[in-house]
Amino acid sequence: MAKKQTKRAEGLLAKIDKTKAYSVEEAVDLLGDLKSAKFDETVEVALNLNVDPRHADQMIRGSVVLPNGTGKNVRVAVFAKDIKADEAKAAGADIVGTDDLIEQIQGGVINFDMVISTPDMMGVLGKVARVLGPKGLMPNPKTGTVTMDVATAVKNAKNGQVNFRVDKKGNIHAGIGKVSFDKQKIKENLVAFVETINKAKPAAAKGKYITNAAVSLTMSPSVKLNTLELMDMK
């Protein structure tokens, strides 16, 4: 099995010119040739930014609703009560609750991919912050997941919202679609994601902003992108 996997990996690597920084158009075209799994692989983008997240004014965090969705069925949990709970349910939320939902999470039941909360429920959510935080599920105003407009937040989550946050080394990773998508749709999603990252550039960030960038599939090697082209996307 190991030899078979190695041979597969070598075959995929042979299709990529590692000395080249590909344009978005070229990279998206190449992704179609890198399919190797029996499932519909996710198209992933990785960016390295010239920022120091240890400084609050260089912490990049936010969200973007991709124009063509992510291809993933996102299960949304909403912490809200009364009329806001009704609005969340009407908008398509999979789970809506308060203390009962907290008990489920404390019991180890996490059957959702995104959490939305009204501001008044954030105190309650503090009880499970240590559980949700490490999983990247804690709601945050910067990603639009702490809001009174729960209906819009739920619809955004269902329609392709991607939340992002730079890590300690300045890296941002995100899934931006499926390899089965039309190439134009993958390109549009990638451009929308990069445009959002460019708009989030902190004033304190000096020099070249996007230092490295690549796209890949779940089971493929990465394809290096031309960072100058990406930084021109506004």
**pLDDT over 90 percentage in the chain:** 90
Domain total of the chain: 2
Residue 3 has pLDDT above 60, yes or no: no
Q: Does residue 14 fall inside a structural domain?
A: no
Q: Which of 73, 53, 62, 77 is nearest to 132 (CA)?
A: 77
Asked whether residue 81 falls in the same domain as residue 152, the answer is yes
Task: List, for residues 49-108, the tens digit of each pLDDT value.
Answer: 999 999 999 999 999 999 999 999 999 999 999 999 999 999 999 999 999 999 999 999
pLDDT band at 4 (very low <50, low <70, confident <90, very high): low
- Span 3-27, mean pLDDT? 86
Asked whether residue 172 falls in the same domain as residue 206, the answer is yes
Please give the Cα distance from 45 to 122 (Å, whole number): 31
Cα-based distances in Å from 75 to 116, 157, 179, 189:
11, 9, 21, 21
Asked whether residue 173 falls in the same domain as residue 60, the answer is yes
Task: List, for residues 105-119, the tens digit of each pLDDT value.
Answer: 999 999 999 999 999
Domain that holds residue 109: 76-158
Tell me the DSSP string of 86-118.
HHHHHHT-SEEESHHHHHHHHTT----SEEEE-
Q: Does residue 48 fall inside a structural domain?
A: yes
pLDDT band at 2 (very low <50, low <70, confident <90, very high): very low
- Span 209-233, mean pLDDT? 96
pLDDT band at 164 (very low <50, low <70, confident <90, very high): very high
Asked whether residue 113 falls in the same domain as residue 139, the answer is yes
